[in-house]
Amino acid sequence: MGAPASAAEVDWLEVRGANLHNLQQLDAAVPLRRLVVVTGVSGSGKSTLARDVLLTNAAAAVAMRSTAAGRQAWDAGERPAWAGCAKLLGIEVVDRVLEVDQTPIGKTPRSCPATYIGFWDTVRKLFADTLEARARGYGPGRFSFNTGEGRCPACEGQGMRTIEMSFLPDVKVPCEVCHGARFNPETQAVTWKGKNIGEVLQMAVDEAVDFFASMPAISHPLQLLKDVGLGYLTLGQPSPTLSGGEAQRIKLVTELSKVRDDVGRRGQKAPHTLYVLDEPTVGLHMADVEKLIRVLHRLVDGGHSVVVIEHDLDVMAEADWIIDLGPEGGSGGGRIVAAATPEDVVRLGTHTGKVLGPVLGRA
Ligand SMILES: Nc1ncnc2c1ncn2[C@@H]1O[C@H](COP(=O)(O)OP(=O)(O)O)[C@@H](O)[C@H]1O
Ligand SMILES: [Mg+2]
Ligand SMILES: [Zn+2]
């Protein structure tokens, strides 16, 4: 951690002439491949700068540069129509832009952590590779709970049945045919290490990490889920039942599992991603904040750039760089009162620096 060592080693993303909401001709520089935290009192302009200006225009630039024609135009000096600022500089080194929020990871109960993160396909192939599955002629499709021959026909692989009640909310009851197993008896006859595919879906992440220890493609993302404090989730828990904080961490795990994949690919550089998170600690317990911070550091260690809007002092204390907006909210704000390391923000004595001081001293 620590400050960007020297200006020469750091690429900067520069917003020039931001002019939106309460921002007035604001210039801001964001060090890349660092954990950058945008701070300031409510209404000081954090979301306007980080999301409405930085994220929006970075996404426009990346989109333009993603096609051959767009790239050619870019190289000839053309730029997208910048929104809310005069221009954005230094975006060429960024390959991808992504906002990670607390919105649900899937709206249908057919989505679950295993399918969202993507290792469920590998689990299905593993089952299709068993002697029993081969003898029965079952391919990976047989082990899907969403389609095909293998799932319980009564509940269509949901394990639950929805009973419609007139004038009352629908009631979910366990399927009376599979009793929550989600697969039909023939599919359940195929086992790997003594468990059938339905039992795997009901396994908690904590248990599954050990169960799949010999299969890194499966155990690695599971370990990441455990690392971010989601070891208690079951692999098949329907996405709509996840909390906002859980959904957000699953998105981050999905990103982290890609970091590893990219490193694995011979000599290929991971696509440098700019992540933007607007107050990700909202609704999180202190212990979960710590886990979130660890994930953010790992993304930066993987060569990515992270911009977080935060009021949480522990997150600020962990920042490589702070952009402090203010001094007040609304028309009394919209200016950068400090752009420095956490230690220097404390020294500068801004509103943020004053409350951050005791937290840094504690460390
Ligand atoms: N869509 C909008 N239209 C007009 N004013 C806005 C809009 N969004 C935010 N503002 C104003 O801009 C200022 C900065 O807002 P915002 O960037 O959301 O602050 P922060 O994220 O720091 O709490 C506030 O005074 C807010 O009322
Ligand atoms: Mg905001
Ligand atoms: Zn059923």
Tokens matching residue 243: 């909390």
pTM: 0.90
With CA atoms as reference, report the closest residue to 333 among 31, 16, 13, 47.
47
Residues 207 and 320 reside in one and the same domain = no
What was the pLDDT predicted at 6?
Answer: 53
Atom 4 of ligand 1, nearest CA residue: 21
Q: Which atom of ligand 1 is nearest to the CA of 52?
A: 17
Pocket test for ligand 1, best of 22, 52, 322 (most atoms within 8 A of CB): 22
Is residue 354 a part of any domain in this protein? yes
Query: In angstroms, rounded to a whole number, what is the distance separating the alpha carbons of residues 35 and 298?
Result: 10
How many angstroms is it from 153 CA to the middle of ligand 3?
6
What pLDDT, in 10s, does the model give residues 78-104?
Answer: 999 999 999 999 999 999 999 999 999
What pLDDT, in 10s, does the model give residues 140-189?
Answer: 999 999 999 999 999 999 999 988 888 888 899 999 999 999 999 999 99
293: CATH:
3.40.50.300
What mean pLDDT do residues 254-279 have?
77
What mean pLDDT do residues 321-350 have?
98
Query: In angstroms, rounded to a whole number, what is the distance separating the alpha carbons of residues 230 and 249?
Result: 8
Q: Is residue 334's pLDDT more than 50?
A: yes
Residues 186 and 217 reside in one and the same domain = yes
Residues 97 and 138 reside in one and the same domain = no
Ligand nearest to the CA of 159: 3
Our measurement of the distance from residue 320's CA atom to the centroid of its chain's CA atoms, rounded to an integer in Å, reads 20
What was the pLDDT predicted at 119?
Answer: 97
Residues 85 and 117 reside in one and the same domain = no
Q: Is residue 264's pLDDT more than 70?
A: no
Is residue 181 a part of any domain in this protein? yes
Residues, the chain: 363
Residues 60 and 147 reside in one and the same domain = no
Rg (C-alpha) for the chain, rounded Å, is 24
How many angstroms is it from 74 CA to the middle of ligand 1?
31
Residues 152 and 221 reside in one and the same domain = yes
Atom 26 of ligand 1, nearest CA residue: 43
Residues 256 and 216 reside in one and the same domain = no
Residue at which a domain ends, from 216, 237, 258:
237
Q: 171 in helix, strand or coil? A: strand
Is residue 2 a part of any domain in this protein? no
How many angstroms is it from 34 CA to the middle of ligand 2?
21
Query: In angstroms, rounded to a whole number, what is the distance separating the alpha carbons of residues 310 and 287?
Result: 16
Query: In angstroms, rounded to a whole number, what is the distance separating the alpha carbons of residues 187 and 64?
Result: 47
What was the pLDDT predicted at 279?
Answer: 93
Ligand nearest to the CA of 53: 1
Domain count, the chain: 2
Parent domain of 24: 7-104+242-362
Contact 53, 84 (CB under 8 A): yes
What mean pLDDT do residues 330-345 have?
98
Atom 7 of ligand 1, nearest CA residue: 21
